[in-house]
Structures are given as C-alpha cells and as structure tokens.
Structure 1
C-alpha cells in the first residue's frame, strides 16, 4: 500500500477517496452478487412482486407471534404480529429503517456532525448497525491494516481489541497518556519522528476511547480532543473513536465526530451501557465509502445484527422519545457516579499508602497502581484464591507486558462486596510487601 501523504492545511479538508486507507483484502471485497436483485425489487410495487429468488422461510412457520414487555417505569411496549413477522425474517445488513432513522436524529441532536449532510460524497456520514459495538472497532482494524502494520493507541487500552490484531503481527505505536487521556504533544512527536525505513509504514489509524476510557477511567476534554484532531489532520490519520461510555458522563463533552469537518472519524457506539449488553446491538457512524465497504463485509459474514434486538430497542426508544431517552441515560450516569464515589470511599479507608489512583468519578472502572510490587499477577492470583476477582493490568497493555496495575469494575457489586474486595486487596498487599 502506498504511503499516505501528510496534509498540513489548516482549513476544511473533506477526504475525497478512502482507497488509500483500505488494505488489499478490503479493496478486493465486493458486494454479494445476489444484492443486485434487491435494487431492482425496490422499484417494483410490493403488490406486483413475485418473490421466488431469496431463500426466505415462510412466516407461518415462525413460532413467536407477538410480544409485550414491561419497562422499569411500568410502561408496556408491544410488538404486534406484523412487526414480529418482519423482525423474525432476514433483513438488510445495514440495519432496520426505524432504528437507523432514530439514531440519526439522536446524533444530530447530541453531536451534530458536520459531515451529516445527506449528500453522496465519499466523506458524507453514514450509519451501520453492528453486532455489538466491539464488532465495529475490530472490523475497522481488519479493513485498514495490512499484516505487519502499526496503529496508534494509548499504552493501555481495551483488552478485547488486543487479541484481534496480534495474530496478524500488527503492532501498536504507544502514545503516552496522563490524567486527561492521550497526550497530543507526544502523539505529534511520535508521528514527526517516525522513521519508515526502521519502523515500517507510518501509522494511518488512531484508536482511542475518549469517555471513561476502559481501563483507565479518564475523560478527554474538548480542548485536548481538538489538539489530537489537528494532529490527525496534519498527518492524514483516521480516528477510530470507540465511545460506548459516552452517555455515562455529565456534562457531555463534544465528541471527535462533532468536530470532524474532514470525514476522518469513524465512531463506534452501542446500547450496551445504557440499555442492554445482551441485545448485542451496536452502531457505527463513519464516511460513506468506508461504511459501504463494511456493510458488504457484514452481509457476507453474518447478514447483519439481530432484527429482533433492533425492533426491541427501537420500540423502547420510540416510546420514550429523545428527551426521555436522554433523561434515562442521565440517570444511568448518576447511578455509576454514585457507585464510583462509594468505591473511592472504601479505597481511601483501606488503601492509603498501599496504592495510588486518580478518581474516575463515574463510568464503570477504577484504574489502580499497586505500590511495592512490580507486577499485578501475583497479587491478583492471591485475590482470586480468596474469592475476589479483578483484572490484571497486563491484559490492557498493548504489548501484554506486566505492570503494577489492576482494574476494578464497580458497576454491579454491592457496597458490602466492594468493601470486602478493597479490604482483601489491602490485606494481600500488606502481606506481600511486609507492611504491618
């Protein structure tokens, strides 16, 4: 793949072609030939169609006819027989029209992306429903990175992403971070000093979790995001904004997508942290040329996300409307902020002098540095022996190197379980470091 050119202009730079970002496999991927029938079918009135092409089962054989489910506020939501018949059938890989339209409205309201312009430009924003938010992030890596390539990320990042790139000999150019997330000055230094002869092709993708980062719990300010975006613009980098915790913060910080006048941000999101992880329903907003390629891949791999999950979620958010949905996520954010405060009170009580931490103040995770040890594994092993389970820091290291950190998830444990975990950690550290 040819080296991507830097672009140092300070004005708007709508990207005209994303072909240079695609790897060889993505370039050679084409839509399934059978999709040509869909285009023609849409031109024929439904009453005049005789559908003997696709392998669609008859809806009379679907055992579920209708459904009613009760929400936490006591309201009932109904899926009538026609809706049930439709969602139990094969559907378009990009997702159902209702939930897509609702999400586009939500994004206009919350993010107001500059490239959501309803044009047919390669950089115009498009939407794809996905099998959970993780699928979108992993798929972007698969689409734009060749075997042996390198991408940019913080030194510790989402642990489920790491196994997806290791088998392909893909590496990470780590960028330092602090209590405010990724350091834009170091990012610029990494790119400016890149030596292609020694290090290989210069990175053209930046992966980042800007809101309550998993695992560190940091939140990036708008100012820092703009500095990072300007570096990405200067060196022609795509930004993969993985942001499932966005609505757990208050107030909402403007997203990378909200400042993207170029069409260089691919944003993955999901309903997992606000409504249900078990529905496995995520969504991705990105440049049309990229989303179209991804939709072709999704159609070939799985046919798209569950239509039942899409209708179930859509019926809830449709019944609520935007205001009630935003009120709901604000309550969710408040709940986790309270959980974080309770955990921090126990840490102050038991872990002073044994650990260091920067208070997360919300989200789902607290990142902790263990004092007196050089790696977390022996500590975590002893905790597990005593029935306390936390995550090792090395799991989140882009090179899987040992580190004296652990991640605590405070989302669903009781107050009593929190204190038990923290006090047990204190006991283990005191015994291992000889502190009386």
Structure 2
C-alpha cells in the first residue's frame, strides 16, 4: 500500500531580524526545538511550585493573527454545564504571592514524604537501544529539594504533593511546546491539559458532550475500549465504512445527511471518534487529503472530532518488500516532521478537534500520562471534571518524564528518540509482513502493509469455509480463535472491535500486533496461526479451493 500523502515541506523555520544598522542574524523560529529557550525567556518568571495554577497560555508563542475558535456551549452535556470550579483548587493561585504563609489548603509538608531522592538510568541521545543504555546511559538523580537548591525546575517536594487539574506546570510547558512545534494549531485560544492517559480523557469527553441515548460515530471497526467505556454511560457507537485509508468521508456524510431520529432511536450524532494513524485494529492511516475531506464533513454537520492519536509517531517507512533495502530514515528533525501526515488538529480552523496524545506507545503505558489539546473553553470544562475525579497524573510519573524529556533529552532529543522508534517499528512491521507472506495461504488470508501503528489486520476469506452459509461467521471466527490457542498463539478476533455490538457479521478478520514479541517469536506465531487456519478450513497445501 502506498504511504498516505503528506503536506508539502514547510521551510518557515527561521526569522531574519536586524540587530544593528548593517548586519543580520538568523534566529531560530519559536516553532522549532532550537527556538524553545528564547520563547521561555519571553514567558517571564516560571511558576512551578506546589499546586501551581498554570495554563498553556504561559507557554505558547504569541500569535494574535490567528482567529479565535468556535464556542461549543450548544454541544456541552447537562453534566458538564453544571460543574463549578473547585474552591480549594482555585485558592492555590495565591500560593505564588511572595512571603505568603499558607494555612488554607490541605497540602502536607514534604518533611513527611519518605523519599529523599530517586535515581533513574536513561538513554543518552543517539544511543537509545537497551544495550547502549546499560553501557552508556546516564544516571539521573531526582531529589526532594532540587528546586530551592537550583538543580532543577521540578523536584519531589513539588511532584509528590497535590496538584492542579491541568497537570504540573513543568509537564504542561513541555507538552504545550511540543504540540506547537509539531502541530501549530491554526487558531489562537488552544490549550493543553495533562491527563491520566487517553482512556480517562475519553471517559471525561463522553461525559462532557453526550447524554444517555446519544450516538458516537467511529470507524466500523474501532478500539474496543472506546466502545466499552461509552456503554455504561448509555452512549452507543455507530460504525462508518472503511477502506485502506480508514474512514470513508462519503459514507460519513450520507449517514448524517439521511439521519432519522425516530428510526435510529436517538438524536443526530455530533461526536466523531477516530484513530487517524495506525488505526486500532485495522492499521489503516488516513492520508492528508482523506483527513481534509473528513474535516469538511465535520464542518458541514457541525461535528466535534475526538482525534485519538497514540500511534501518530509510529508512522513508519514505506514497506519495500522482503528483498528490497529499507527506505532511509529522515535525516533531520525538519525532514522527520514533514514526513508525518498532518494531524486533524493542524487543519482545525474552528476548534472542533479534541486531540488526545499519549506517552503510552512511545515511552511506556504504565506512566499513565497523556494530554489533550482543545479550545480554552473545552479545556476549562475538562479541568472541572479532573478536579473532582482523577485530580492530576501521578507525581512520580510527571517528575520522571519531565527530567527525561525536558531536562535530559530536550525537545530535539525527544524527536531523535521518536525517529529511533520509527526505525524499530518499521523493522518489526517488516518481520511480521514477511512471515505472513511466507506462511499464510493467499487463498485464505489477505492483508495490507500498515503505514503506522502496531497492528497487522488480516482478512480471512470466510466464504471459502466448508460451512459458510450454514453457520454464523462469528462461530467460524471462534473456531479459528480456539484452534489458534490450541497451537499456542493468540490473535484478536475482529468481532471484538466492532463499533456496533450485536450486529450480524459478514466479514472475518484477525488482528495481530508486532509490538510485543521478538522477531523470531512473531514469525513462529504466524506459522502457528497458519496451521490453525488451515485446519479449520480443512485446507491442504497445493489444494485449489473454489468459492
């Protein structure tokens, strides 16, 4: 499959300014990694103390030429509209007043935090492999009082106390700068909120925009947890047809254009949940033009788009086949960023995209740290929910990631890490594709090379099963699943990812991941799956099966 189309390169990376009557110097743009130190100086004194009141507005570059986002009062749920600001959290803004002695909040003294310091060993930039980290990695020490001792902008005394619903000022600054470097949203009043991972964010967004009985639209096969998170809230999913590039905009438009409240048993949907890059489970990636078309349909029908992008930086090199040399990796940060399919957030002139980012797939799932980017209005309502639920991500996670990403690697080093991850996942993707080509019978199985993510979606020619038409497709699927387990291999049945539960299935798929097992184990797993598949279909080598 050809890689999705990309944006043309953006060469606006530097400002040229006169500093005397004659000479000029080239200063790095605020929208590049090199421009971060200068923009931080312009932001003034950094307030990152205990429970510091903070906002992305402190950390963004100034862009008054951009329009303001739309307002979304008409889309907020009754629950979201009813939320009030936390009086206790709100009082934290006074903690920054010089000389203040606080007896107001329930913030315990760090004297009683039983952690004097923690030490982590992390990769040196450019030496990212596990073996290189063991030999050449750097030991980073995080102390309880690093801030007053002038050693860091973040320490255990701050991180392990109560925080704000925005997340810590330190991590919020990093993700805000990162978001602007990568996406540069085209409206003024965007903000980021650091959250406890995307599943928590998704639950919050459903509560903000959906009432019981509402529908959320998604790809016809989608992230199972997204459906299962919505179900207890009384929110149903409705699937849109997909092709090799994911969600089909014409099908989305027709679904909404012909919506009948009475026939559907619910009002017209106005929330679209989509995973544009390396979609889970299908592995499809929406190209630039496809994303623009989906966005135009969203504008036509006034949809809010939840852009769930944990795999955005797992966009891989094009698949060149089993015998061809791999395509060269991007040589510079600019080349890397220009190689990425532009996000829906980057196209969002209205403020209708709520982007969910996560460190789960590029750092570690157990960090439970991610962030959303949305309009200031939506972020304010999001914070109101956080204040009385999760509050903020773990202080341990925030201080460790801050020390790694901000003070050890920096933005440039983080992009180097993401390029390294791209290389690793490209190699893993190629291994599983070569195993499929070697072991899976083409008469029974077909697949497309994924351009991003960590999943290989395999279509099974169920119509060639001896009992096709006599038994339900899900029963044949279960036979394959059980036979695979019998061969000691586990793949996920496609029906687990159906957006609409309880509907009759006419197609059969299995999802394999190339993220977890080692290369030889992946190859062996596909071989075992092939054995199970052939057994269920009563297929023998060199036997020609007709429909």
2:534 to 417, 430, 434: 430
Q: Which residue of 2 aligns with 1:405?
A: 509
Q: Which residue of 2 aligns with 1:7?
A: none
1:59 and 1:15 map into 2 onto residues whose CA distance is 41
1:102 and 1:58 map into 2 onto residues whose CA distance is 27
Q: Which residue of 1 aligns with 2:398?
A: 310
Question: How do 1:73-92 residues align onto structure 2 when only pairs under 5 Å count?
Answer: 73=124, 74-82=137-145, 83-92=155-164
Would you say the 8 A contact 1:341–1:361 is kept in 2?
A: no
1:283 and 1:187 map into 2 onto residues whose CA distance is 27
2:79 to 25, 40, 59: 25
User: What's the offset of the Cα at 1:66?
Assistant: 1.2
User: What's the offset of the Cα at 1:34?
Assistant: 2.3
Given the alignment of the two structures, is residue 213 of structure 1 paired with residue 279 of structure 2, yes or no? yes
1:434 and 1:35 map into 2 onto residues whose CA distance is 65
1:193 and 1:205 map into 2 onto residues whose CA distance is 16
User: What's the offset of the Cα at 1:40?
Assistant: 4.0
Given the alignment of the two structures, is residue 111 of structure 1 paired with residue 183 of structure 2, yes or no? yes
Q: Which residue of 1 aligns with 2:310?
A: 244
Would you say the 8 A contact 1:226–1:259 is kept in 2?
A: yes
Change in CA separation of 1:194 and 1:211 when aligned onto 2, cut-off 3 Å: same
1:363 to 453, 457, 479: 453
Q: Which residue of 1 aligns with 2:40?
A: none
Given the alignment of the two structures, is residue 100 of structure 1 paired with residue 188 of structure 2, yes or no? no
Given the alignment of the two structures, is residue 346 of structure 1 paired with residue 441 of structure 2, yes or no? no
Name the SS for the 1:278 alignment partner.
helix
Name the SS for the 2:272 alignment partner.
strand
Would you say the 8 A contact 1:248–1:330 is kept in 2?
A: no
Where structure 1 has 5 or more consecutive residues not aligned to the other structure, the ranges are: 1-11, 118-123
2:419 to 323, 330, 339: 330
Would you say the 8 A contact 2:285–2:451 is kept in 1?
A: no
Where structure 2 has 5 or more consecutive residues not aligned to the other structure, the ranges are: 1-65, 125-136, 146-154, 317-338, 466-472, 541-547
1:68 and 1:227 map into 2 onto residues whose CA distance is 48
User: What's the offset of the Cα at 1:287?
Assistant: 1.1
Comparing 321-330 and 381-390, the one that deviates more: 381-390
Could you state the TM-score of these two structures normalised by the residue count of structure 2?
A: 0.73
Q: Which residue of 2 aligns with 1:384?
A: 485
1:109 and 1:13 map into 2 onto residues whose CA distance is 19
User: What's the offset of the Cα at 1:368?
Assistant: 0.8
Change in CA separation of 1:36 and 1:98 when aligned onto 2, cut-off 3 Å: closer
Change in CA separation of 1:263 and 1:334 when aligned onto 2, cut-off 3 Å: same
1:17 and 1:107 map into 2 onto residues whose CA distance is 22
Question: How do 1:248-267 residues align onto structure 2 when only pairs under 5 Å count?
Answer: 248-250=314-316, 251-267=339-355
User: What's the offset of the Cα at 1:242?
Assistant: 0.3
1:215 and 1:297 map into 2 onto residues whose CA distance is 29
Q: Which residue of 2 aligns with 1:414?
A: 518
2:452 and 2:344 map into 1 onto residues whose CA distance is 21
Larger Rg: 2
